Structure 1
Amino acid sequence: MKTSILIAALFFSGLSFAQEKNSDTLKTKNIEAVVLTKPVFKKQSDRFVYDVAASPVTKGNTTFDLLKQIPILSSIDDKTLKIAGKNNALIFINGRKTNMDAESLVQFLKNTPAENIQKIEVISVPGSEYQVESSDGIINIILKKKMSDGLSGNMRMSNSQNKYNSSSASFSANYRKDKLGISASLNGSENIQPQSFILRNGTDLVKNESVGDIDDPNKNLGGYLNIDYQLTDKSNLALSWNSWANRSYNSTIDLLNTLQTFDNSGNVLGTQYTRTKNKENARSYNNSVNLNYELKLDSLGSKFNVNAAYLNYKRFQNSDNNTMLPGLAGDFSQTGKKIIQDIPQVINNFSGTVDYIQKFKNEFTFSAGGNFNTTKTDNDTHNFTYNYFYDPSGDLEKIETQSEPNHFVYDEKIYGAYLTLEKKFSDKFSGKVGARYEITNSLGTSDNAAPEYRRIERNYNNLLPYLSFNYAVNDKNNISYSFSSRMRRPSFWEINPVRNYITEVNYTQNNPFVKAASTYNQELTYMYKNSYFLILNHSLLKDMITQVPLQGFAKSTDGTISEQNVLRYIRTNFGDRQEMSAMVGMQKSFFKQYLTMNFNVGVQHNINNGTLAVDPTSGDTFLDKDGNPLVYTNKTNSTSFVIQTNNTIRLDKKKTWFLGVNYFYVDKQQIELGVLKDLMSLDLSIKKNWNDWTFALNVNDVLRTNIVEIEDYQANGNYNYIRNDQYRRGMTLSITYNFGNQKVKKVRDIESASDDIKNRTR
């Protein structure tokens, strides 16, 4: 609560700026009225550009809400963003990839007002100059920067209600004086993230079911500070600092577990009940600093760029996992098993990049550069297991204890170099070709783990080509094609060999043996009148890194077989996968801009080819009740449809009232864990602009249809079912106030030195 009170004080202290209605402000409003006639969404040679200043949905929205309304972007879980045809979208701010972990990044985007943004670039197939992995695309958010001296900014407060109530607040300021520019933001929020689960797994002879709730309280505080100083007419120095802190204390899991056994005729032989009651306390800190120097070499745009960056990420997690027995009274008062875990994660990264860009008068561009990253992670994990035994009268008889320490240290060094050649052959045709060469040397060591964990060494040498061209047939028609190859290194948390328990026999398992995967992407885009588009995409993923369910009676390498059927969700390399998609869409205003519509419909075809029989972290195999080996296989193809539409309706001539109607539908599709059933959501909003104030009311998932269900049936009789309700139906009321002179210009794009590291912390 202290976070909200602090920012609320800043909110109301800024009201004095309401009197600053000078002639510059009036001129700005006139300019904005003209900007609305420009194309909001357009295609450039290697990217889509969304002009935020020309969009009627910007004012009063958050950055996350705005991103969801860009034609080729989507979010079905309200936590992650996806570019059409891509697995993941990396967030860049002013050309620099954000250093935040996934949860902190979502909170940052949801607490940053959209008024802070000048434009958004979507780069679906990044060139060789970008340090990205796999089939990742880039969303580059260009923040506003003042044209004239003075101070401007905004403040926003919101309150949301779904299962629980939550609040957030933000304060942003932008200051310029002569050659010095400073922008800063402070964001805070409090919320409880609720979930309800139904987990079922087993065979024809054994069935496990866990039903219950997870509540995860969170307090977040963070922000950024950007300083840009013009040293000379040709050189600039910029310093950026991003910080975020999260505290999640008293996160709880409460599940009722039912274990049933059956005979071959389907008759119940026995039923056992237990209760899982887990409690977790966690806190994380994310701090990053980036120093950039840019030297302009000529009037054509040639430049020399140097970056140095440092990242420090810390997460401390303590959990108390309890399996409760019914006891004599059937009240689950007896502890059967307790697992106490201490799981810290510390990441330190230093990186540097050098870029040289030379432009020639014949519209030829030569670019070359290199990067170096060194990362060290230190994870000193401790597991303590207590087994409780009771006599027939219910009294505690004895406790057996076991300790499992694991100090895992991971060192990684990445050397990279790239070369690109770009040529504009005519007003209609341009092309770009390039390549990256990357060397990765890594070593994971553990002094007190099993022998196979003590030294894990990986070395990769990869040549990654890139090709693209853009052909403007005429003023109305544009065609572009891109090809790229990338590698996907495992995230740092994926290779830390720890377990996260859901129940005693149901847990996720990280894997230090995961190796890098390769991805090959192709994309063909056609755009008409900067309003209508067609995107064809193909991706081939080899040695794909994913999470795979293995279940059965676990047989260890010494021949011991578990007494219960277990389910392990294991990170591993799981064969190959092809993804093919086609999407048609439009972004256009109708009826003199009373209606702004963003609509797209697409089809995606997935070809899966993966098999796993052995737990790669332990060597365990899995048996059915009769002792027959069990193998998890996913060689299924699936075709699914996607529909998304975002509509903004202007309700009055003065452009002060707006109604929003947004809807998406995702058809069922085959994923690694099984068949993901269809999802849909209807979201409504009403917004009122009054001078420098914006009042907005949003209602999400009106029909309460955005609930995840995954179902998987194997030929050997194994099945796995997950139903996860995250209570996405909710209502949010927000108030935003803009103060000061709002005249802005584009900020200088700065690419971070640690671009290939940051996403792997989440």
Structure 2
Amino acid sequence: MKTQLLITAIFFTGLTFAQDKKTDSLETKKIEEVVIKKQVFKKQSDRFVYDVAASPVTKGNTTFDLLRQTPLLSTTDDKTLKIAGKNNAIIYINGRKSNMDAESLTQFLKNMPAENIQKIEVITVPGSEFQVESSDGIINIVLKKKMGDGLNGNMRMANTQNKYNGSSASFSANYRKDKLGISANLNGGDNIQPQRYTLKNGTSMIQNESVGDIDDPNKNLGGYLNLDYQLNDNSNLALSWNTWANRSYDSSVNLINTLNMFDENGVLNSRELTNSRNIENARSYNNSVNLNYELKTDSLGSKLNLNAAYLNYKRFQNADNRTLGLDANNNFTVFRQQVLQEIPQIINNFSGMADYIKKFKNDFTVSVGGNFNTTKTDNDTKNFFNYYENGSLINVRPDLNHFIYDEKIYGAYLTFEKKFSDKLSGKIGTRYEITRSMGTSEVPGQTMQEFERNYNNLLPYLSFNYAINDKNNISYAFSSRMRRPSFWELNPVKNILTQDNYTQNNPFVKASSTYNQELTYMFKNSYFLILNHSYLKDVITQVPLQRDIVREGVTYRQLAYIRTNFGDRQEMSAMLGMQKTFFKQYLTMNFNIGMQHNINNGTLNTDPTTGEVFDTYINNRSSSSLVIQSNNTLRLDKKKTWFLGVNYFFVDQQQIELGLLKNLMSLDVSIKKNWNDWTFALNLTDILNTNIVEIEDIQANGNYNYIHQNRYNRGGTFSITYNFGNQKVKKVRDIESASDAIKSRTR
């Protein structure tokens, strides 16, 4: 509550700036009368370009709202953005990766006015100069160049209602005076993230079912501070700091478990009920600082960039997991098992990065650079398993593991880019990465184990773009990437869900490789066809393994989700799309439809961490699915003050590593009103309540596994946004932190 009071106070102090904006409002009205006929969406070299300044949906929107309207981009949870055919979208600002963590970045995008943006670039296959993993794509936000001195800012308050009510608020400001620029943000909020689960697994003889709720209350407070000083006409020095704190106390899991035993004829022999209750307290802190130096070496745009960064991440977590049986009065009071857990994690990272771009007069560019990361993670896990018989404690088994992981990454890249003519351009490059890592697991009374991972990778890249004529354009790109395991995936901790259901992380997980190819055809800068193929080797994922275990003379069915490298995977897609305005820009439509085909090939029967043997799990299945996405904005009045948004997506069922993921669908509607410097918006999400995860898998050996997850996506958000100050203030440079590639692996 204190967080909201603090930011609310800041929000209303900003009203004093309202009177300073009358002149700007008059200028804005004059600009609105101009009919812009520039190309809004076009293909350039290795990227798609969405010219925001020429788009009719910009005014009054936040950057996040605008990204949702950008062709090829989508979001299913109102938090993360995805590029069609890609796993994740990495945010860059003015060609540099954002140095904010995921939560802070989301708040930043939701509170930055879209009017500050010149264009949005969507890079589906990033070149060698970009530090991205796997099949990640890039969204590069190019800001307008505003040269005036002064102060401007943005304040936003929002309230969200789904199963529970949540609120958030933020304050952002930019100040520039002569050579100094300052950018700052403060944001916070609280909410309860609910989930409803139905879990089933077993065979024809033994079947488990767990049904219940998970409620995860969160309180967040974060922000950033960026300082940029122009040393002279050719050089700048910048210091960036961002922070994020999360507290989740009394997070609860309450599941009713049913064990059914059948005979050979399918007749129910016995039924046993238990109750799994888990209470968890967790808090985390993420702080990073980055120092940047930029030197322009000539008038053609050649420049040198140097970065040094430090990242500190801390998470402290404890949990009390209890499995209770029925007493004589059919109440869950009899202890069956209790697991007390402490799962702390501390990450320290030092990073350095250097890039030099040399441009020549004959439209030839050479880029060269390198980076260095050294990371240490400390995970001192303590589990105490308390076993009961008839409600009496019979055994206490400690499970202690102090896992320390040290990793060093050395990387270098070289790219050549050439514009051969007005029609033909191309780029070729490669990145070479060296990874040296060592993990040590120390268990009291046992010999310390060491896990060493050393590998070198050469990652080539190639692309070309050919403009056949003014209406037709074709391009091709190939790249190879790695996907390193997140630090939490390497920590060999076991997370207990029920007495017979748990997840197990794995220090033996190695990096996976991804090879991407993409062919794109574009017509009239409005219609496009994208053909994509990705081959993923040694996929990092969770694998559901089952086996029979005997406890107190009774056979139970155990289900473990094991984190490991699980075979290979191919993904193929064909996407037809359109981005176009109709009826004198009253309607803006972004529509995509396509097919995707997945081929899985993996087999596992042993937990690599413990050596325990399970029934063999095989996933060598393929699937084809239909994908539809439509984002539409309708301007309701001539003055451009009322807007109606209708967004829809549908993803047909598809085969993933855990089984067959059933179809997902969501219909979202929004209404927005611009009034002077204020914006009032109401967003209704998943109106039909169809965005629910459902996964089913049936093995040839008779093993069955089913997951039903309701994340309560249906809800509404009402927000109020206020822009104040001089809107001509030049934005502070956004600098890519040297630790960004590491930071993404803390989540």
Output the TM-score relative to the length of structure 1.
0.94
CA deviations on 1:565-617 (whole Å, 9 max, x unpaired) are 11111111011101011111111110001101111101101111111111111
CA distance in 1, matches of 2:64, 2:521: 27
2:718 corresponds to which of 733, 737, 744: 733
Paired residue secondary structure (2:556): coil
CA distance in 1, matches of 2:19, 2:499: 62
1:603 corresponds to which of 595, 599, 614: 595
Q: Determine whether 1:215 maps to 2:215.
A: yes
CA deviations on 1:50-90 (whole Å, 9 max, x unpaired) are 34444444455444443332211122344432211112222
Partner of 2:385: 385
CA distance in 2, matches of 1:143, 1:451: 57
- How far has the Cα of 1:341 moved from its partner? 0.7
Question: Cα–Cα, structure 1 residues 580 and 561, in superposed 2: closer, same or farther, change >3 Å?
Answer: farther
Q: Is the 8 A contact 2:150 2:729 kept in 1?
A: no
Partner of 2:136: 136
2:664 corresponds to which of 652, 656, 679: 679
Q: How does 1:470-485 map to 2 (within 5 A)?
A: 470-485=465-480
Which amino acid in the other structure matches residue 372 of structure 1? Answer: F
Which amino acid in the other structure matches residue 565 of structure 1? Answer: R
Partner of 1:443: 438
Q: How does 1:433-512 map to 2 (within 5 A)?
A: 433-448=428-443, 454-512=449-507
Partner of 2:82: 82
Which amino acid in the other structure matches residue 473 of structure 1? Answer: I
Q: Is the 8 A contact 1:146 1:175 kept in 2?
A: no
Q: Determine whether 1:642 maps to 2:627.
A: yes
Q: Determine whether 1:654 maps to 2:639.
A: yes
Q: Is the 8 A contact 1:101 1:761 kept in 2?
A: no
Which amino acid in the other structure matches residue 595 of structure 1? Answer: L
Partner of 1:705: 690
Which amino acid in the other structure matches residue 334 of structure 1? Answer: V
Partner of 1:252: 252
CA distance in 1, matches of 2:220, 2:188: 5
Partner of 2:318: 318
Which amino acid in the other structure matches residue 673 of structure 2? Answer: K
Question: Cα–Cα, structure 1 residues 219 and 108, in superposed 2: closer, same or farther, change >3 Å?
Answer: farther
Greater mean deviation of Cα atoms: 498-507 or 292-301: 498-507
Partner of 1:411: 406
Partner of 1:577: 569
Question: Cα–Cα, structure 1 residues 471 and 450, in superposed 2: closer, same or farther, change >3 Å?
Answer: farther
CA distance in 2, matches of 1:571, 1:518: 17
Q: Is the 8 A contact 1:553 1:562 kept in 2?
A: no
Q: Is the 8 A contact 1:111 1:169 kept in 2?
A: no
Q: Determine whether 1:594 maps to 2:589.
A: no
CA distance in 2, matches of 1:185, 1:75: 24
Paired residue secondary structure (2:514): strand
Q: How does 1:274-423 map to 2 (within 5 A)?
A: 274-390=274-390, 396-423=391-418
CA deviations on 1:206-226 (whole Å, 9 max, x unpaired) are 100000000010111111112
Runs (5+) with no aligned partner, structure 2: none
Runs (5+) with no aligned partner, structure 1: 391-395, 623-629
Q: Is the 8 A contact 2:206 2:261 kept in 1?
A: yes
Partner of 1:122: 122
Question: Cα–Cα, structure 1 residues 464 and 311, in superposed 2: closer, same or farther, change >3 Å?
Answer: same
CA distance in 2, matches of 1:334, 1:346: 37
CA distance in 2, matches of 1:32, 1:348: 50
Which amino acid in the other structure matches residue 586 of structure 1? Answer: M
Partner of 1:627: none
CA distance in 2, matches of 1:125, 1:710: 30
Question: Cα–Cα, structure 1 residues 640 and 239, in superposed 2: closer, same or farther, change >3 Å?
Answer: same
Question: Cα–Cα, structure 1 residues 295 and 141, in superposed 2: closer, same or farther, change >3 Å?
Answer: same
- How far has the Cα of 1:476 moved from its partner? 2.6
Paired residue secondary structure (1:5): helix
Partner of 2:182: 182
CA distance in 2, matches of 1:413, 1:233: 37
CA deviations on 1:212-266 (whole Å, 9 max, x unpaired) are 0000101111111121111100101111111111111111001100001111110
CA distance in 2, matches of 1:80, 1:715: 36
Paired residue secondary structure (2:11): helix
Partner of 1:262: 262
2:557 corresponds to which of 558, 565, 587: 565
CA deviations on 1:353-384 (whole Å, 9 max, x unpaired) are 11111111111111111111100101111101
Question: Cα–Cα, structure 1 residues 248 and 723, in superposed 2: closer, same or farther, change >3 Å?
Answer: same
Output the TM-score relative to the length of structure 2.
0.96
Paired residue secondary structure (2:126): coil
How many residue pairs get matched?
747
CA distance in 1, matches of 2:517, 2:10: 48
Question: Cα–Cα, structure 1 residues 541 and 534, in superposed 2: closer, same or farther, change >3 Å?
Answer: same
CA deviations on 1:441-494 (whole Å, 9 max, x unpaired) are 000002217969710000011111111111122233222211111111111110
Which amino acid in the other structure matches residue 528 of structure 1? Answer: F
CA distance in 2, matches of 1:124, 1:616: 35
Which amino acid in the other structure matches residue 569 of structure 1? Answer: Y
Which amino acid in the other structure matches residue 590 of structure 1? Answer: F
Which amino acid in the other structure matches residue 753 of structure 1? Answer: A
Paired residue secondary structure (1:728): coil
Question: Cα–Cα, structure 1 residues 201 and 382, in superposed 2: closer, same or farther, change >3 Å?
Answer: same
Q: CA RMSD in A?
A: 2.2
Question: Cα–Cα, structure 1 residues 389 and 101, in superposed 2: closer, same or farther, change >3 Å?
Answer: farther
Partner of 2:166: 166
- How far has the Cα of 1:103 moved from its partner? 5.3
Q: How does 1:59-78 map to 2 (within 5 A)?
A: 59-78=59-78
